[in-house]
Amino acid sequence: MLNFLPHDTILVPQGAEYQAVCRGLRGTTDSIPAILPIPVGMKPLLQYLQQSSKNGQFLAAKSRVLILGLCGSLSDRYGVGDIVLYQNCLYQGKQQQCDRSFTAELHSALPTPHSPVNALTSDRVISSAAEKRHLGETLAVDVVDMEGFIALEFLNAAGVAVAMLRVVSDDCQHDIPDLTGAIDSDGSLRPLPLAMAMIRQPIAATRLIRGSLTALKVLEKVTNQFFSSYSNQSIVEDTKG
């Protein structure tokens, strides 16, 4: 069980990921910090963080932010449903580090060892399996997301300790639909372009949906683990397959 303080905050991409985290909190008995949905994508997230900081969020002395959500795999070592704990995020040759102490605390709260991974943040959806593997090999990164680097860059500069834990929703062996056009400028999903992207690639869409459902179930369980008094509860049992 993690020891959260009143001024700590949890950030989760809005939509299904945020809902999974909220479900994971049901039935927990311990006090929990603020849990806030954030927009998807780098630019919308930066605008959100800038506005939030003006309102005094995240900037309390010794405050910490835990970022939860899903990610894509860029390595054969990580498949759908795997929990990954970040040690850093890379974007256009620049790197931002997660807080070592906070990350170590998360590591100790997990029931099985999870070596911290190197992550890549992208300003678009990486949909091609070939591109995923190429990025993983050439940049020496393990997973990809669309928010990690900008969150670390902004919050590290503000003196906020950040840790990041995600669950893999798609592997590097298969294509997924290109959903870049389905993400609006405010970081929300556009239903019609999303549906069209899925229809154009039905097999890839089915695989992505199944992987996402598996990953969301793990995300729900790991959230419950962090805020439950029963720290020996299994997180990933019966979530794969």
CA distance 22 to 10: 11
Percentage of the chain beyond pLDDT 70 is: 84
Q: What average pLDDT does the structure give for the chain?
A: 85
Find, among 43, 45, 41, the residue nearest to 58 by Cα: 45
Bigger pLDDT: 26 vs 91 = 91
* 218 within 8 A of 83, measured Cβ to Cβ: yes
What are the residue boundaries of the structural domains of the chain, listed by start?
A: 9-173+211-226
Q: Give the mean pLDDT of 169-180.
A: 87
pLDDT in tens, 30-72: 567 788 999 988 999 999 999 888 777 766 667 899 999 999 9
Find, among 103, 96, 69, 105, the residue nearest to 155 by Cα: 96
Tokens of 191: 């239903």
- The band of 239, judged by pLDDT with boundaries at 50, 70 and 90, is very low
Q: Give the mean pLDDT of 104-108.
A: 88
- The band of 192, judged by pLDDT with boundaries at 50, 70 and 90, is confident
Has residue 127 got a pLDDT over 90?
Answer: no
Q: What pLDDT score does 38 carry? A: 94
CA distance 234 to 236: 6
Q: What pLDDT score does 230 carry? A: 37
Q: Give the mean pLDDT of 199-222.
A: 89
Q: What pLDDT score does 207 carry? A: 87
- The band of 238, judged by pLDDT with boundaries at 50, 70 and 90, is very low
Q: Which amino acid is at 218?
A: V
Has residue 235 got a pLDDT over 60?
Answer: no
Q: Structure pTM?
A: 0.86
CA distance 102 to 86: 11
- Specify whether domain 9-173+211-226 bears CATH 3.40.50.1580: yes
* 180 within 8 A of 100, measured Cβ to Cβ: no
